[in-house]
Amino acid sequence: MRPFSGNAARCPSGMCSCRSGSPARCSWTGATTMFPWPPLRDASLPALTAAAGPLQRPGVPSACCSVTPCPAHPPSSYLAPSGQRSSRCFLRRLPILRHWLLSSISNYCSDKKATAVNWIDGRGKSVVCEATIKGRVVQSVLKTTVEKLVELNIIKNLAGSAVAGALGGFNAHASNIVTALFIATGQDPAQNVESSQCITMLEAVNEGKDLHISVTMPSIEVGTIGGGTSLTSQAACLNLLGVKGPNHGSPGANARLLATIVAGSVLAGELSLLAALAAGQLVKSHMKYNRSSKDVANAAS
């Protein structure tokens, strides 16, 4: 069903910019609900149909969200329970809607999926990380030039990914870094799918002498409470990073800081791989450091 129109009140969660007359997606949580907001009190189905228009297929999001999650947790930790509570509330007030309700989650939240809506609206934490590398450092440490890196990024990360039909995958290997950090810090490794959505940009600055690099990651889903974060090794890693547990002075600050750490690590990884490719060192380094000189099959036997 369509949402009620003419009501410009902000989302009741207070966390997003969506309005009750717009599509049902919370830009902060990714939460959706099937029914119009505010909750109906004494409406009957005919009145509801007259006010909101004809019923659509169940599961199609069409109203403003009404979920207020804990900022320190990944959004998916709260969507299912909150959606279930919302569904029970609506069914108590309008029992006839039971005929149309199939699920408390419509999949518009796009959890563990690479989707355009995550790229456009964001999900979890949206982070932009950037740095300027001096030209002399590019030459002495990265063993290449600013011009080569900029050209390589355009041809590989931008044009190459576009030809492949990439959806948020305009980067060299963001997924490698995100997955490693997620496992080390007790995150949900499957959420690497949307958390690795990243576009890497390189350009020459300061009259072409220096290199500016940035990574834009709109949907990093991380948390510092619950789940795998309570495991001994993972808790130790979070403690090492200074983001273990909740931040009582500023709720959600630890999760936000962890998201920036992820983005900063991705930026470093992007710069490293692109430099290795531009300098022609990637295959050489693999052959030198990542290949055994022994016959592994014979050694095992």
Q: Residue 224: what are its φ and ψ, rounded to 5°?
A: -125, 10
Q: Residue 232: pLDDT band by 50, 70, 90 thresholds?
A: very high
Q: Choose the catalytic residue: 113, 143, 284, 286.
A: 286
Q: Per-residue pLDDT averaged across 263-292, rounded? A: 89
Annotation marks residue 286 as catalytic: yes
212 among known catalytic residues:
no
Q: Quick one: fold of 116-289?
A: 3.90.770
More confident residue, 50 or 257: 257
Point out the catalytic residue in the list 112, 148, 173, 212: 112
- Which listed residue (73, 125, 188, 244) is catalytic? 188
What separation in angstroms does the CA of 185 have from each of 52, 57, 125? 45, 40, 16
Mean pLDDT to the nearest integer, 152-173:
95
**Mean pLDDT to the nearest integer, 236-253:** 95
pTM for the model: 0.69
The fraction of the chain above a pLDDT of 70, given in percent, is 64
- Whether the pLDDT of residue 76 is over 90: the answer is no
Q: Say yes or no to pLDDT of 156 above 70.
A: yes
For the cut 70, the answer to whether the pLDDT of residue 108 exceeds it is yes
Is residue 214 within 8 A of residue 225, CB to CB? The reply is no
Res 64 pLDDT > 50 = no
Among the listed ranges 21-30, 89-98, 139-148, 273-282, which one has the minimum average pLDDT value? Answer: 21-30
pLDDT score at 222:
96
Backbone φ and ψ of 160, nearest 5°: -60, -45
SS3 state at 277: helix
Between CA 243 and CA 80 the distance in angstroms is 26
Average pLDDT, the chain: 75
What the block records as the tokens of 190 is 């499957």
Active site annotation includes 288: no
pLDDT at 183 over 70: yes
Q: Where are the domains of the chain?
A: 1-109, 116-289
Burial of 22 (0-12, 13-18, 19+ CB in 10 A): middle
